[in-house]
Chains A and B, each alone.
Chain A
């Protein structure tokens, strides 16, 4: 007997995600001074009525930066996940559905991408980019790169699923009834791939949030002065004691809460996919 039904956890996770997204979208009203304003006479300040989460090393309001950073990470990570899912569907799903040499070719390309050290690849691509891009463009480019490089695992799953569907009885029956090509794919295969696609989409979101955070910690993610969870987590570098400045952990706690909420939501998707 379960103390709390699964639905409760999923509903709670959805509520948390909605609350976080809502707060981040309301950043303009909740933190009107913005994320870039430097209060140079109040640097590294403790929480106060003026600065609810204190200020960072150069005097920027941490609460404002958390809200705007959350907005960036939460809006662009799903966008990158969507791109990844589409690419995975294109390479893995089509490869698996067509089978034979197509499937082998798709998997060869996937394996090649999987074997690439993605972190070094991202660093290299970042280094090759034009320097004079605005912070907003740097955000878009960062997540675009993550999306373009992160489709491989999903492609393997989709290739395998599409391959099974291709050999399934109902697809054979449809083929015997004269349905072929795009129509067969559209009517019989794609609807059955949807749960897997959804699951891959949801799984990718926390992965990209964490990837951006990793890039941000390396100083290679979103450009200053724009905040992201990665750049906010950089503040924890060199923090000698957890108890000294607990408010600096707010971005980390938020990241853990959001990623956990995504995991709880996607567990249902995984069940459906299974």
Chain B
């Protein structure tokens, strides 16, 4: 009896083992089948570099995102910072130091082990002035050297000479390099690695066999076997290829295409709501600009700028130009930026009558359908935008008609981009410009180069030796205050005030925030399009293709 029981117990144990082994085999089989899929999408330009520290163009950013392993990652859906290669981290109260505790047992794609030494190597490379790393610029808050201290193989602290605002979030962009791998920057810690590159044609990525992440069922990620990135600058061709099933994802879809695709295949298109990008116009306030003095006086008047802003029908711009896939903009921060958007700002209402009244209060008068200033000069100015951008051309034409209602005559001028930039930054020979601003990051520090009056990108009046107006001086002070503080609440207060001043003074007349539109083929599983880049493949390791 005992023997029988013992035999039966052994049989049961063996049976369980067999089932377990079968399950593992099945899991591996499913995993390997899933890992066979290839995702296809387009890069809109040639990648300029595969070195993650030298990245500045969009195509290289895409490759860095797909191949690079980072210590911390901003979750594109929740906008929260999450641990990746770092298990945990701590920022010092003064905002100068960050300490990381790294995960152990992680390997680069070529099998080289990852340790604190690699983090130190990456940070030293990043901050090397000779490398001119655009990613490193975000960490350069003041003069002095960056110190790295390896506490153990899985622990490291990095000390900056001065406080770096939003220090931990900046590491979302820093892909780790190996200090020892002979493959240098081609040894990666991300889900994919570069397998092949044909200039002008394709970048082929293949699955990183040493990628450290697993899913809830213990299966190794990523599910995909490879990604093919076709270099295709023409958006029309990209769209046609999507329709033909030759590519699987399209980011930043045009609203015209979105509607056309939605009419036939509504399940393929996704509108994630307002993006971080804005369309705006501004007047030239440069003192040395070759413009008549009376025009400079108009453009320097906050009453004039605000009146023009009030007389623009933003709802129509959103509805007509972007087919409803945009939202009237309130200020420098899109409502999509959940933490930094100042929700107390009131929307700019379309009130041409109030605009005209305000202008009349400032000495302007309407005569036979033409607005004239105190000296009798007719209010006529040109709005320049870049040729070939149909949305901006349409917006400018609609603004032309809106402003005609208050007697302001606008001439719409389209110029090729280099000529426009030359006028904007060198000769200052323009009156108003309509362009867009692409925001990739959430932190206000990303906008430092626009708001500081000494900056080259302070478009309405660049490189001021000292702030020329009291409100610009206040913005300078507030931007510096938020940049040198590690207290998120204080930073938010400062930046909220900047947004209020921007609305009061209207140096930029914000028009619309375009929606984040995308298209995902029915064969792609696991895609959750979001507003932050990369919209459709932010969770690439969990995507699969049927």
Chain A contacts to B: CB under 8 angstroms? 36, 38, 40, 43, 57-59, 123-124, 126-127, 131-135, 218-220, 223-225, 234, 237-238, 240
Contact = CB atoms under 8 A, between A and B. Distances in A.
Given A131-B384, A218-B387, A224-B393, 20 more contacts: A38-B401, A57-B394, A58-B394, A124-B419, A127-B416, A131-B411, A131-B431, A132-B382, A132-B431, A133-B411, A135-B411, A219-B393, A219-B414, A223-B411, A223-B412, A223-B413, A224-B396, A225-B397, A234-B390, A238-B236
Nearest to A134: B411
A127 B390 contact: no
B25 interface: no
A249 to B, nearest CB: 17
B415 to A, nearest CB: 6
B374 interface: no
B316 A238 contact: no
B256 interface: yes
A43 B397 CA distance: 14
A82 to B, nearest CB: 27
Given A224-B412, A237-B390, A59 B384 contact: no
Interface SS of chain B: helix
A224 B400 CA distance: 9
Nearest to A37: B401
A225 B388 contact: no
B115 to A, nearest CB: 51
Interface residues of B, number: 37
**Which 6 pairs show the lowest CB-CB distances between chains A and B?**
A219-B387, A127-B419, A219-B414, A131-B382, A224-B412, A224-B397
B257 interface: yes
Given A127-B415, A238-B257, A220 B431 contact: no
Nearest to A221: B414
A11 to B, nearest CB: 41
A219 B396 CA distance: 13
Contacts of A224: 393, 396-397, 400, 412
B416 A123 contact: yes
B59 interface: no
5 contacts: A43-B320, A218-B416, A220-B415, A238-B235, A240-B243
Nearest to B257: A238
A57 B320 contact: yes
Interface in B394-425: 394, 396-398, 400-401, 411-416, 419
Contacts of B400: 224-225
Contacts of B390: 57, 234, 237
A220 B387 contact: yes
A57 B322 CA distance: 10
Interface string B59-92: 0000000000000000000000000000000000
B393 A237 contact: no
A133 B414 CA distance: 12
Nearest to A124: B419
A223 B240 CA distance: 30
B413 A131 contact: yes
Nearest to B404: A36
B350 interface: no
A58 B321 contact: yes
A219 B388 contact: yes
B50 interface: no
A248 B346 CA distance: 41
Interface in B100-119: none
